């Protein structure tokens, strides 16, 4: 069995967002880039499954659509434990464009399980995984919060309001994962970092494809009014403010 983990390269979650002068883009100078947190957890779970599979899972690959600048992030995924990596050499214009690139690049590779995150922490697209599944004509399960593999049978928990459903998909399939899929992301070991340098990272050129959406302008959020402090000796005042001023109770 082979597993593919799709990785998006995103600014560190603590990044302060600044805009460029024309407000047409986020100013990315000095930003630290990371593996999208969901993808890091997906990769962690894939490695756990491989280790527990007694040789049944033979390979874990990662793939990312991105320019040269995404390579440190891809190398980190190799250092965490992926066996090999593919980079599709182009800026991901939108999810439709990026998912199409990945679908074309891996269609002859016969991956049994493809893992994606539920959203990228930068543009909050929530679109890529489902699109990839549709382009590849594979079943998909979204909001996956746990993943078990027994023989050839996959069972995942899918979150629903107030609980979860256990879902059994036919393989191959795409799982779009979220909280719970793995406990803590794995951290690369010294040995992992050394080995990552030797692992194959294949760069493939992008093919012609359409993007259906585009960002044209950005703005910061509305500044918030200063917090009104309530005297701890008179908390009843808070109730009064919520009722009369905020009018929400």
Partner 1 sequence: MSVLIYTENFDGKFKKSTFETVSYGAEIARQMGTTAIALSMGNVADDDLKTLGNYGASKVLHFNDARFANLDNSAFATAIAQAVEKEGANVVIMSGSNIAKAVAPRVSVKLKAGLVFAVSGLPKKLSPFTVPKKVFHGKAFADVVFNSAIKILSIAQNSFGVKEHLQNAAIEAFDAKVDDSAFKTKVTSVEKSTGKIILTDAEVIVSGGRGMKSPENWKPLEELAGILGAATACSRPVSDEGWRPHSEHVGQTGKIIAPNLYIACGISGAIQHLAGVSSSKVIVAINSDKEAPIFSAADYGIIGDAQKILPELITAFRKFKSEN
Ligand X SMILES: Nc1ncnc2c1ncn2[C@@H]1O[C@H](COP(=O)(O)O)[C@@H](O)[C@H]1O
Please list every residue from 168 through 227 that binds ligand X, using CB under 6 A: none
Minimal distance, residue 42 CB to partner 1, in Å: 13
Instruction: Based on the shown chain and the rule CB under 6 A, indicate whether residue 20 belongs to the binding site for ligand FAD.
Output: no
Part of the chain binding ligand X (CB under 6 A), chosen from 114-122, 140-148, 153-161, 178-186: 114-122
Q: Does 11 bind ligand FAD (CB under 6 A)?
A: no
Q: Choosing among ligand X, partner 1, ligand FAD, none, which partner's interface includes residue 26 (Cβ < 5 to 8 Å by kind)?
A: partner 1
Quick check: 9 and 66 in contact, CB under 8 A? yes
State the DSSP string of 9-37: EEE-TTPPP-B-TTSSSB--TTPPEEE-H
82-101 residues in contact with ligand X (CB under 6 A) are 92, 95, 98
144 is a site residue for ligand X (CB under 6 A): no
Tokens of 146: 């746990």
Asked whether position 35 contacts ligand X by CB under 6 A, the answer is no
| Phi, psi dihedral angles at 239 (to 5 degrees) | -60, -45
Peptide bond connecting 172 to the previous residue in cis, omega within 30 degrees of 0: yes
Taking the least distance from each CB to ligand FAD, the nearer of 13 and 67 is 13
**By rule CB under 6 A, what string of x and - marks binding of each residue 65-104 to ligand FAD?**
----------------------------------------
Asked if residues 136 and 103 have their Cβ atoms less than 8 Å apart, the reply is yes
Q: What angle do CA 144, 147, 148 make, to 5 degrees?
A: 155
Question: Does residue 192 belong to the site contacting ligand FAD (CB under 6 A)?
Answer: no
* 13 makes contact with ligand FAD (CB under 6 A): yes
- Residue 126 CB neighbour total at 10 angstroms: 14
Nearer to ligand FAD, 34 or 136 (CB): 34
Q: Which does 134 bind (CB under 5 to 8 A by kind): partner 1, ligand FAD, ligand X, none?
A: partner 1
Q: Which is nearer to ligand FAD, 107 or 179 (CB)?
A: 179
What are the distances in angstroms from CA 81 to CA 14, 29, 61, 125, 211?
25, 29, 9, 27, 32
Nearest to 206 by CA among 64, 83, 77: 64
Residues in contact with ligand FAD by the rule CB under 6 A: 13, 37
């Amino acid at each position: 069995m082979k597993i593919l983990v799709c990785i998006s390269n995103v600014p560190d979650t603590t990044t302060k967002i600044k805009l460029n002068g024309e407000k047409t883009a986020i100013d990315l100078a000095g930003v630290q880039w990371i593996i999208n947190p969901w993808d890091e957890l997906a990769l962690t779970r894939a490695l756990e499954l491989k280790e527990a599979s007694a040789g049944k899972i033979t390979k874990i690959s990662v793939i990312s659509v991105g320019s040269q600048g995404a390579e440190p992030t891809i190398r980190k995924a190799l250092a965490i434990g992926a066996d090999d990596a593919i980079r599709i050499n182009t800026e991901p214009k939108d999810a439709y464009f990026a998912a199409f690139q990945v679908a074309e690049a891996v269609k002859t590779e016969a991956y049994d399980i493809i893992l994606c995150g539920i959203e990228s922490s930068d543009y909050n697209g929530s679109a890529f995984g489902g699109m990839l599944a549709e382009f590849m004509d594979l079943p998909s399960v979204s909001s996956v919060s746990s993943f078990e593999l027994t023989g050839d049978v996959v069972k995942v928990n899918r979150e629903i309001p107030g609980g979860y459903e256990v879902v059994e998909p036919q393989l191959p399939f795409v799982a779009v994962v979220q909280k719970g899929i793995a406990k803590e992301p794995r951290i690369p070991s010294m040995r992992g970092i050394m080995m990552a340098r030797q692992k194959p990272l294949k760069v493939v050129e992008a093919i012609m494809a359409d993007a259906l959406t585009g960002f044209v302008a950005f703005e910061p959020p509305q500044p918030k009014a200063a917090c009104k402090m309530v005297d701890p000796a008179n908390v009843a005042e808070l109730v009064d403010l919520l009722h009369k001023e905020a009018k929400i109770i």
